[in-house]
Structure 1
Amino acid sequence: MNEIRKKPLHAIGYNFVADPYLPAGADEYHLRNLQNRSGIPYRNLSAYEIEVLVRNNNTSDDWNKIQVSNAFNPELVKNCKFYGLVRIGKLETISLEFHNIIMPVGLYNSTIISCDFGDNVVVSNVNYMSHYIIGSEVVLSNIHELHVTNHSKFGNGIIKEGEDESVRVWLELCNENAGRKIIPFIGMLPGDAHLWSKYRSDELLMQRFREFTEKKFDKQRGYYGKVGDRSVIKNTSIIKDVWVGSDAYIKGANKLKNLTINSNDEAPSQIGEGCELVNGIINEGCRVFYGVKAVRFIMASHSQLKYGARLINSYLGNNATISCCEVLNSLIFPAHEQHHNNSFLCAATIMGQSNIAAGATIGSNHNSRAADGEIVAGRGFWPGLCVSLKHNSKFASFTLIAKGDYSYELNIPIPFSLISNDVSHDRLVVMPGFWFMYNMYALARNSGKYIDRDKRTDKIQHIEYDFLAPDTINEMFDALVLFKKYTAIAHHKKQGSTINESSLEEEGNAILNDDQYDWKGLQVIAYGFENNHRPTHLIKVKEAFQLFQRLIRYYGTTQLMQSIQNGVVNSLQEIQQIDTTTERLTWKNIGGQLLPETKFNQFIESIHKNTIGSWEAVHGFYKECGATYDADKLQHAYSSLLEIKGLTTEEFTTDIFNELMQEALATKEWMVQNIYDSRAKDYQSAFRKMVYDNEEEMVEVIGKLEDNVFIQQQQNELEQMRESVVQIQSSFK
């Protein structure tokens, strides 16, 4: 039975906060007065103003509870019912226009309970409006409900005085069994979500994160809702317990409940038709359109949900877009793309710069004994059309998965690989280095594209978008070891000789560097890549072995060249003084930001000791690491260069550096040519050209290859590199 409580009519608009929850000496308006920062001096109505209001068919339970500014015009308030304390700013005989809709300033045909208004607002046909603070030049039109409760949390996972722990909202990220759940809060960055969800065995760290979150918020009851200056809300049904920043635009939404919608004049947020959003935080610059359903979620700044997308128990990183599809229990780092109605992502940690194709089901939740599986994918993850993956699976950076059903768990540690399910031969096939060999255009273009699309106004976390960075370079080093071991094992099996585990790397290295070795009939098998007895074939191993070494040298050399051009180092001696006292450092991807493990460990220790004692201090650490990232990356690049060349720093001479620069230039030339060639295929393939009657039609549709802006940019970078090599070689001693 519905519990319908009967109250006196004169109670409407009063006792918003019950006496037990009021601080000593405070009234129910004390938080409202703190929240209202308009600076407008309010006064009581004059007798004439009351007369005009009554004549215009307005009612109030107590006209003494209506307060107005000195520029208030009572003629602009018609057919409204007022209850409780209502404060109204300036009303002038003007109209406000937004997106070709023009409406007169004033309050019309609305029920208003205990609200504050800034200057020159439009409030028209708001059926029920309660306990809101409205900024200046706000438009509210055709809204069924706009109200807050005295225990509003605005999407934060907190509890108010007198509430039970059971009402707290959690985000159940990365895993469906809630074992990685976190408490959402305004300002949560991808790195915060990753740290909290990942390091569960560190009980003290978990405790600290909860403490950080709890102390961010006041547990008092009685906070009002807010609609910031110049925000427009129209044709929307239910808005309950929602905080809206300035310059937001909300139109045609069905239901918005327990949300913060951050928005500002530099990065306005928008919510469109048919959306239903509950228990979430939407950050500045976000777009949510056309039938989106989202429950228990965070959208980082400048992310988008469109065309019926479903986002549940998930964190969506900055500059990411999800359309049409369904995403559950996932943590998604910045720069993610997922555009197709029949794709599905569940219980996954996707580390950014990713693209989920149509028909991809990443982590079906009905293929194991319990809902406790996970998918972990390094940045650049790209499952192709109709790819089906099983929990648990893990992928190195820039893994491309070809169409197919992968019925067994996968663990792919080699970056830049193409994964194929060869059903006819009942085998898994892994081609390392695929992107560089066959689609350099897409790899390089995406790197630049993500930089251009990074619209964050406050870049607290330094996000790495280059495909050659400390994380991928380290994965390449690990892959080189695997190439050597697996090649040696394959050789012994081909020869029928005894395998000596201790000498596999040495033997494999000799084979891979022997240009006279006969590879005919040699099948290189990887182990531990698939949870199945069928073989995993590594193909083009020698090519990948040489390619990865070349790319590591290119990375190290270009980082040194960049540091010289930036004036960071000015001589060979200064290069030799770059800190290489430690081995090549391991790195972690924390929400898209790469951190040296040494700094990360110090950071965790600082949290344990409470020297980092708040989320603001955590974010300060992110900024500090961002400021030193180039120096840390340079150290890593130089260490990588010495390691791949087998040199000590004393053995690194000017002649060697000159040779490396020439090789790096040749590598850049190869990359640019490869970029051109991979794009040129679209102009040369008969199957690509067959839809056009002639060359002219094709050019009109897809443009001239020579006019491709990205290719031109790469060619310009090549010319600049040529000039840099000449300049450095002539001046660097």
Structure 2
Amino acid sequence: MSKIIKEKLTDLGYRFVPEAYLQNGDEYYFRNQQFPDDRKFRNLTTEEIKILVRNDNYSNNWNHVLVTDKFLPEQIQHSKFYGLVRIGDMEDVYLDFRDLRLPCGIYNSTIISSDFGSTVAVHNVRYMAHFIIGEEVMLANISEMETSNSAKFGNGILKTDDVEERRIRLELCNENGGRSVFPFDGMQAGDVYLWSRHRNDYELQRRFQEMMEAQFSPHHGFYSEIGHHSVVKNTHTIKDIKMGSHAYVKGVNKLKNLTINSSAESYTQIGEGCELVNGIIGYGCRIFYGVKAVRFILSSNSQLKYGARLINSFLGDNSTISCCEVLNSLIFPAHEQHHNNSFLCAALVKGQSNMAAGATVGSNHNSRAADGEIIAGRGFWPGLCVSLKHNSRFASYTLIVKGDFLHELNVRFPFCLVSNEADTNRLIVLPAYWFLYNMYAMMRNTSKFQSRDKRKFKNQYIEYDVLAPDTVNEMFDALLEIEKAVGKTYSNDRTSADPQALGKEILLSDQQLTGKDILLDNVEFSRRKVVLAKPKEAYVIYGRMIRYYAATQIISFLESKPLADLQTLISSFSTSRSAFENIGGQLVPKTKLDTLLADIRDNKILSWKDAHARYHAWSDVYLEDKLQHAIASLAELSGVNPISWDKQYLKQLIEEALDTRRWIFDEIEGSRAKDYQNPFKQMVYDSYEEMEEVVGRLEDNDFINKERKGLKVFECAVKKILEELSII
């Protein structure tokens, strides 16, 4: 039952902080830190008070309305003031933002214990309590702006004497809360990933929480803030808000318990009909048209639009969600989900992903417990009307064909196509599908995500290349799986104690794999057959792409440094291929990650900012780590020790890479050209010329032309390196 309390009107605006929580007996201790009293505030003169009263203004104590020497009482009209109110410099001007023109001053508003920077325009704010308003801020037509003395601004902290039940948690990756984390301003996808894992390491979990809480004060009495040059208009409720500068908010239903980061370089906009509660919003975000978000973090330069619902979730940088619903999910950068009928729940999606219309990932409601988890490597793409069952796991760049997948899946083949064969009730896995059949879409990913990366400060290296340590390691695992499957299938024909060795022998021979289905084990939790399609083609392509990956890293190094430096590095590198982990879109050698976690346990890392500094240090040397991984990968694939790599070996490798790059370009152009040659694509147009007019000419395709130029640059770089190798 709600309880309405009666107090004396003269007390309105005072005793915001309960006496037990005062610092040095000062109610304004933290307020004065947020709004330093360096503007030389003074009391009103008798004449100024007369003008204010004549303009239909009221205060329960005019002595507590403080102004500067640049005060214009004529620009305060029809307003009420309670408690200590400080008003900064005023000018006889109006502010203009996107055709909204408001005279500076305070009009038709009720202000309780708040501070204003210079040259503000406040119109029709029916109730404002305990806010700090920056300079040149425009506020118009706002029903309610209030602050609680225990405001946390979306951070998962507790104030003094708070009970644990009041803490904000993000219940990520599954619906039972077993991987929940406490959100905080500045939290990165890597932080969430590390914290949501390692659940049986109680000391590490305790340290994660300590690191978060060390960044925030447990004291009561902080005011809400609206940053400099921000505009808020036609909004209903704003409570417990910390808003940065240059933000733009219009037509919002409710903003509560939020940190909204914004700056002149990366300003955030929140639009009509939105309701956002208990969250952190990054720099440069766009949130429009009926969005509902509760217990969430929206990372920088991301968008929520058109009625999207984001609940108990973390969305990484440069992502877009519109129309649909996302619950209990941890999503790394560059995620796209914009169809009204797609649904994502209880998932860890490692970025560069796309959810098609009708895709339903989560909430099967057919088990004896809460939903399990989906773990998907980067480039995850569940196609139209795909339904998946928890628990399932997918390698990077898995494409899933339309259909209901009624059993748990463990797909270990990167760049693959997964489909149901309805007439035989079999699962078909086609490894290396993207390289074999849709090189255009595959290679477009890298440039597409790079162009969409709108971060102003790229101090964390997010890997967008489809060929990187994570995907290459998965290709090695896939080679092993293919060898085992082929060897097991043909082991009845030959006596062999090692099916893998037999499979490798067959795959490297001229023998054609015909007449037998190559079956996979431990891919689907069912009794039906799982068929490995085109194993030999995939095996060859995986090997070719690994060699190409290694060669491109070596070529990139030799473009700026001499062969002697490469040979020195090779002699110092380990020939053992390193495991890498994707932490929030950043790829990190597992040995380095293990060292970080040990340092956190041992109190060598004291805050998440310290951890971020380690992330940035890793980014600075990532390309060297990638080169080392590439060299080790080539050594493992070829069986040739890098120490013995002479000029002739490198020349052959680089020439092969050039052939592969040309083949990749031909495949890019060819896979796109199929759309122009398909008669069914053409039949909706009166002529080929009309089709070109509607969809554009193939020769004008921006991506293909960019790749053509890239190929020429690559050819020039290779030619120069080959010439230098011939001279040495």
Query: TM-score normalised by the shorter chain: which range applies?
Result: over 0.9
Equivalent position SS for 1:313: strand
Matched-pair contact (CA < 8 Å) for 2:333–2:585: yes
Counterpart position of 1:716? 709
Does 2:598 match 1:605?
A: yes
In the other structure, the counterpart of 1:504 is 499
After TM superposition, the structure 1 stretch with the greater mean CA deviation from structure 2, 721-730 or 295-304, is 721-730
Q: Could you report, residue by residue, the CA deviation over 1:68-105 in whole angstroms, capped at 9, with x for unpaired residues?
A: 11111000010001000001112212111111111111
Give the match for residue 562 of structure 1. Answer: 556
SS of match in other structure, 2:27: coil
Offset, 1:64: 0.5
Question: Secondary structure, in 3 states, of the residue corresponding to 2:290?
Answer: coil
Contact 2:362-2:371 at 8 Å conserved across structures: no
- Matched-pair contact (CA < 8 Å) for 1:569–1:575: no
Per the alignment, residue 22 of structure 2 pairs with 22
Q: Which AA in structure 2 matches 1:552?
A: I
What is the deviation of 1:700? 2.1
Change (3 A) 1:545 1:38: farther
Q: Which residue of 2 aligns with 1:532?
A: 526
Q: Does structure 2 conserve the Cα–Cα contact (< 8 Å) formed by 1:572 and 1:653?
A: no
2:681 matched to which residue of 1? Answer: 688
Distance 1:706 1:39 in 2: 63
Distance between the aligned counterparts of 1:34 and 1:286, measured in 2?
Answer: 28
| Structure 1 counterpart of 2:184 | 185
Give the Cα–Cα distance (whole angstroms) in 1 for the partners of residues 650 and 534 of structure 2.
Answer: 29
Which residue of structure 2 lines up, in the alignment, with residue 146 of structure 1?
145
Number of the residue aligned with 2:582: 589
- Quote the residue 1:369 is aligned against: 368
Per the TM alignment, residue 597 of structure 1 is displaced from its structure 2 partner at its CA by 0.9
8 Å CA contact retained: 1:353, 1:381: yes
The answer on whether the counterparts of 1:126 and 1:143 sit within 8 Å (CA) in structure 2 is: yes
Of 360-369 and 145-154, deviating more is 360-369
Is the alpha carbon distance of 1:571 and 1:60 closer, same or farther for their aligned partners in structure 2, counting shifts above 3 Å?
A: closer
Report the counterpart of residue 212 of structure 1 in structure 2.
211
8 Å contact from structure 2 (residues 410, 523) kept in 1: yes
Verify the 8 A CA contact 2:249 2:271 in the aligned structure 1.
yes
What is the identity, as a one-letter code, of the residue corresponding to 2:582? N
Shift of 1:713: 1.1
Aligned residue for 1:577, secondary structure, equals: helix
Name the structure 2 match of 1:303: 302
Identity of aligned residues (%): 53
Conserved in 2, the CA contact under 8 Å of 1:572 and 1:654? no
Q: What is aligned with 1:65?
A: 64
Judging changes above 3 Å, is the alpha-carbon distance between structure 1 residues 215 and 571 closer, same or farther for their aligned structure 2 residues? closer
For 1:630, give the aligned amino acid.
L
Contact between 1:86 and 1:115, CA under 8 Å: does it hold in 2? yes
* Structure 1 partner of 2:465: 466
Aligned residues: 726
- 1:588 to 1:673, Cα distance in 2 relative to 1, 3 A: same
Shift, 1:611, TM fit: 0.8
**Distance in 2 separating the partners of 1:158 and 1:571:** 51
Q: Deviations over 1:140-160 (max 9, x none)?
A: 100000110100000001111
Do the aligned partners of 1:38 and 1:135 also contact (CA within 8 Å) in 2? no
Q: Please name the residue that 1:513 is paired with.
A: 508
Q: 1: CA distance between counterparts of 2:563 and 2:724?
A: 13
Cα deviation per residue 1:87-138 (whole Å; 9 max; x = unaligned)? 1112212111111111111100000000100111111110100000000110
- 384-393 or 564-573: which moved more? 564-573
SS for the counterpart of 1:455 is coil
SS in 2 for 1:589: strand
Counterparts of 2:6 and 2:111, CA distance in 1: 20
Structure 1 residue 679, shift from structure 2 partner: 1.1
Structure 2 counterpart of 1:556, one-letter code: A
CA 1:187/1:568 → structure 2, altered by over 3 Å: closer, same or farther? Answer: farther
SS at match of 2:519: strand
The equivalent of 2:450 in structure 1 is 451
Contact 1:52 1:74 (8 Å CA) reproduced: yes
**Cα displacement (A) at 1:38:** 7.7
Give secondary structure in 1 for the equivalent of 2:664: helix
Residues 68 and 88, structure 2, Cα contact 8 Å, conserved in 1: yes
Q: Which residue of the partner structure matches residue 655 of structure 2? A: 662
The answer to whether the 8 Å contact 2:491/2:499 transfers is no
Q: Give, in whole Å, the separation in 2 of the partners of 1:575 and 1:612.
A: 30
**Structure 1 residue 566, shift from structure 2 partner:** 2.7
Cα 1:167/1:583, change in 2 over 3 Å = same
Residue 640 of structure 2 corresponds to residue 647 of structure 1? yes
Residue 575 of structure 1 and its aligned partner are, at CA, apart by 5.3
Q: CA deviation at 1:721?
A: 1.6
Q: In structure 2, what is the equivalent of residue 132 of structure 1? A: 131
Please tell me whether the aligned partners of residues 233 and 249 of structure 1 are also in contact (alpha carbons under 8 angstroms): yes
Worse-matched range after superposition: 345-354 or 702-711 = 702-711
Residue 528 of structure 1 aligns to a residue whose secondary structure is coil
Which secondary structure does the structure 2 equivalent of 1:96 belong to?
strand
Matches within 5 A, 1:122-521: 122-493=121-492, 495=493, 500=496, 502-515=497-510, 517-521=511-515
> Who is 2:539 aligned against?
545
**1:326-372, CA deviations, whole angstroms, 9 ceiling, x for partnerless residues?**
00000000000000010000000000000000000011241221114
1:46-65 to 2 correspondence within 5 Å? 46-65=45-64
Root-mean-square deviation (CA, aligned residues, Å) is: 1.2
Any stretches of 5+ residues in structure 2 without a counterpart? none
State the distance in 1 between where 2:648 and 2:264 align. Answer: 55
- Tell me, in whole angstroms, the C-alpha distance in 2 between the residues paired with 1:552 and 1:153: 49
Contact 1:367/1:390 (CA < 8 Å) preserved in 2? no
One-letter amino acid of the structure 2 residue matched with residue 682 of structure 1: D
Q: Helix, strand or coil for the counterpart of 1:724?
A: helix
The letter for the 2-side match of 1:522 is K
Which amino acid counterpart does residue 387 of structure 1 have in structure 2?
V
Residue 643 of structure 1 aligns with an amino acid whose one-letter code is: E
